[in-house]
Amino acid sequence: MPTSINHLAPPTGGIADNIAGFARALRAAGLPVGPGAVIDAMTALEVIDIGKRPDVFTTLESIFVKRHEHALIFAQAFDLFFRPAEEWKSMLDSVPLPDHAKKKPPPASRRVQEAMSQPHTHEEPQAQEQDLRLSVSDREVLQKKDFAQMSAAEIAEVARAIAKMRLPQAELKTRRYTADPRGHRIDMRKTLRQALRTEGEIINFHRLGRLEKPAPIVALLDISGSMSEYTRLFLHFLHAITDARKRVSVFLFGTRLTNVTRSLRQRDPDEALASCSANVEDWAGGTRIATSLQTFNKQWARRVLGQGAIVLLISDGLEREADAKLAFEMDRLHRSCRRLIWLNPLLRYSGFEAKAQGIKTMLPHVDEFRPVHNLTSIEALISALSSPLPAHSRNVIRPAA
């Protein structure tokens, strides 16, 4: 059994085991700790006085923790791990691992099971012929069908259609330059290099133009009970666009806000969605839009909206506590992004009127209000996202609501 670091007077082989074991414990608790970090930790412990517990703590923290959010997990693990030897074993059994670190069946297994248990009735040639004929009109129906009214098989079909959608690259000019024959800057370095081939005679100027890249997208998805029929498909949609471009951040909110961007980066949609739901504690609960927006504005807005982001707010806006706070937070969100698009599945009803107090409060602060309840509306959204962006809205003074 490894001994505690407090009990180690001279550095013996025990310390290496200790660090390796500690790194394993951290990994199990969800911290990304690579083998390089273990070697670093060993090197670092050689240069400090390991008799001083706070110094050992800071040293290991600076190496194993690379995100501020992980500091708390590290501190708990450190306290539990580096204890006198006799306490050690019983304590380690009770290390409170976060839920997402606990073993669970791999997400793809459900698909494998489904595939294996599929009855073979569809293989009759007659039925297959019929299926083919139906499938065209099926798809047309699917385009218009409300997500909330779909069967499991139809949802799977829509998820596949969504996965195939590609976001056109709505371009933003950056301050970087790239080779561009019609650019307005001369690339002196390249021009001179070229000139050397002709004994110093400059034959043509190479030019630079502004590099363009897609505008970042930040999605805030309401996962409260009233939205539950839509959330899974929206997550599929967000997964598809996260996959296609780099700068997409996704937040889920119900009663509290959760950042699931990293979860959605996983390539397999099932795995990504399973990872999302594991991270969220308030799935299909109540809604507190104002509080969630406040958290977003305070903790994340400066970090993810900086580069002229488009915000997709996906919510039905059914908020009971619609008050000045909601208006205030909506206004702040509106002022800190380039374009705020509110996607509301309630717009599917043709006679929809903004009567709910929450909707009335939020509506003055959005740039666009769009329905999003079937494939057609998602396609319309994609074409809207690809249309040229309006000029930077941050300098525009809007009347206060």
Partner 1 sequence: MSAVALPASVDAMLELLSSRGYLAERALATVTYLSLRMGRPLFLEGEAGVGKTEIAKVLSAALGRKLIRLQCYEGLDVASAVYEWNSAAQMIAIRLAEAGGDVDRDQLTSDIFAERYLIKRPLLQALEPDVAGSPVLLIDELDRADEAFEAYLLEILSDFQVTIPEFGTVKAPHPPIVIITSNRTREIHDALKRRCLYHWVDYPSAERELAIVKTRLPGISQRLSQQVVRFVQALRDQDFYKSPGVAETLDWATALTELDARSLNAEVVGDTLGALLKYQDDIARMQGDQLQKAIKDATSET
Residue ranges binding partner 1 (CB under 8 A): 32, 34, 36-37, 40, 43-44, 47-49, 52, 54-55, 57-59, 61-63, 65-68, 71, 174-177, 188-189, 192-193, 195-197, 199-200, 246, 297-298, 302-304, 306-307, 328, 332
Least gap, CB of 218 to partner 1 (angstroms):
12
Least gap, CB of 2 to partner 1 (angstroms):
23
Q: Which is nearer to partner 1, 24 or 53 (CB)?
A: 53
Q: Which is nearer to partner 1, 108 or 186 (CB)?
A: 186
Least gap, CB of 51 to partner 1 (angstroms):
12
Q: Which is nearer to partner 1, 57 or 88 (CB)?
A: 57
Q: Which is nearer to partner 1, 71 or 134 (CB)?
A: 71
Q: Which is nearer to partner 1, 37 or 322 (CB)?
A: 37
The answer to whether 337 touches 311, Cβ cutoff 8 Å, is: yes
Nearest to 209 by CA among 170, 179, 238, 236: 179
- For residue 318, the cross-strand partners are none
Query: In whole angstroms, what is the distance from residue 314 CA to residue 394 CA?
Result: 22
280 CB-side CA count, 13 A: 30
Least gap, CB of 401 to partner 1 (angstroms):
15
Identify the DSSP state of 341. E
Amino acid at the residue 140:
E
Least gap, CB of 144 to partner 1 (angstroms):
39
Least gap, CB of 335 to partner 1 (angstroms):
11
Token code pair at residue 54? 């706070």
Amino acid at the residue 228:
S
Least gap, CB of 302 to partner 1 (angstroms):
5
C-alpha distances (whole Å) from 385 to each of 210, 213, 236, 244 are 21, 14, 17, 14
Nearest to 76 by CA among 86, 55, 61: 61
Q: Which is nearer to partner 1, 61 or 379 (CB)?
A: 61
Q: Which is nearer to partner 1, 43 or 135 (CB)?
A: 43
Determine the Cα angle at 76 with ends 70 and 78, to 5°: 95
Determine whether 319 is exposed, middle or buried from the number of CB atoms within 10 Å of its CB (0-12, 13-18, 19+): buried
